[in-house]
Amino acid sequence: MSGIGTSRVARMIARKDVTVEWRGRVLVNQVLPFAALVMVMFAFALDGDDLLQRAASGLAWMATVLSMFVVISRSFLVDTEDGALDAMRVAGLDMRGVYLGKSLALFAQLLVLNVVLIALSLLLYHVSLTVESAILLSCVVVSATAGLSFVGVLYGGLAALSKGRETLLPLLVLPVVAPVVIGAARATESAYGTAGARVSEGWPWVGLLAVFAVAFAIAGLLSFPSLIEE
């Protein structure tokens, strides 16, 4: 097997991860119900329309981040429980392709999750959208989800090869994704129009989220191969 290109490896890995999800239906049967439950519990805990509407954007993104840990852990468990990640390394697969492929698959799964959670937050927390705010919200979801995916796979790889991976992953990831959660929550707040926020105020946050996503994509591409090798 003479070395195959990064993009081909990325496609293979993304296809494999999506197939794993398709066969197991863990996102649909476990992660989505868990995230929905978190949203409903928040609604009960913050009983009161004003408070709920003000907190709605942050709650949706916190539910996403909490659910993301389940998706990442599972993604790497599939690769490590019988030594498949080692086998990929032995076979000389380009680890940058593995990183991109896993990020792409995680992005797709988190996107589905986010769409459902945003829809649920609109419903549960009595928020309405205009065309302008819907466009902003779409851009927020895409850029923030990309950032979360690139960070999640990088640290997921690190945690997967360590002892106590389940507890280590949130400890590693939460501080790093704090800027994404803050940016996404503020931009979503602008889209929801809560606390007097205007749609135009959300776009600088989208820019920040995009910069964050690109920065972590580059950092991941550079560091993931040596991380797995060591």
Partner 1 sequence: MNVVDFSDVVVTYDGYPALAGASARIETGHIVLVRGENGAGKSTLLRTIAGLMPIERGTANVLGVDVAHHRAAVRSRIGMLSHRNGLFLELTARDNVEFWARCVGATAGDVADALDRMRLTHELSSTLVTKLSAGQRRRVALASLVVRRAELWLLDEPHSGLDEQSRTDLDAVLVEASRAGATIVVASHDTDRVATIAQSTITLVAGRTVGS
Residue closest to 70 by CA, chosen among 32, 122, 108? 32
Size of the site for partner 1 (CB under 8 A): 24
Judged by CB under 8 A, the residue of 47, 48, 81, 131 near partner 1 is 81
Interface positions, 91-110, toward partner 1 (CB under 8 A): 91-93
Q: State whether residue 48 is helix, strand or coil.
A: coil
Contact 67, 26 (CB under 8 A): no
Cα separation, 230 vs 228, whole angstroms: 6
The token pair at 98 is 């593995």
The token pair at 15 is 């296809």
Question: Which range touches partner 1 (CB under 8 A), out of 86-94, 133-141, 152-160, 205-213?
Answer: 86-94
Residue number with CB closer to partner 1 (87 or 178): 87
What residues have CB less than 8 Å from 225, skipping those under 6 apart?
Answer: 94, 95, 96, 99
Question: Which range touches partner 1 (CB under 8 A), out of 30-38, 46-54, 73-81, 117-125?
Answer: 73-81
Residue number with CB closer to partner 1 (3 or 33): 3
CA angle 92/95/98 to nearest 5° reads 115
Residue number with CB closer to partner 1 (47 or 230): 230
79 scored as a contact of partner 1 (CB under 8 A): yes
Residue number with CB closer to partner 1 (87 or 171): 87
Contact 89, 228 (CB under 8 A): yes
Binding residues for partner 1 (CB under 8 A)? 1-4, 12, 16, 19-20, 23-24, 78-79, 81-84, 86-87, 89-93, 229
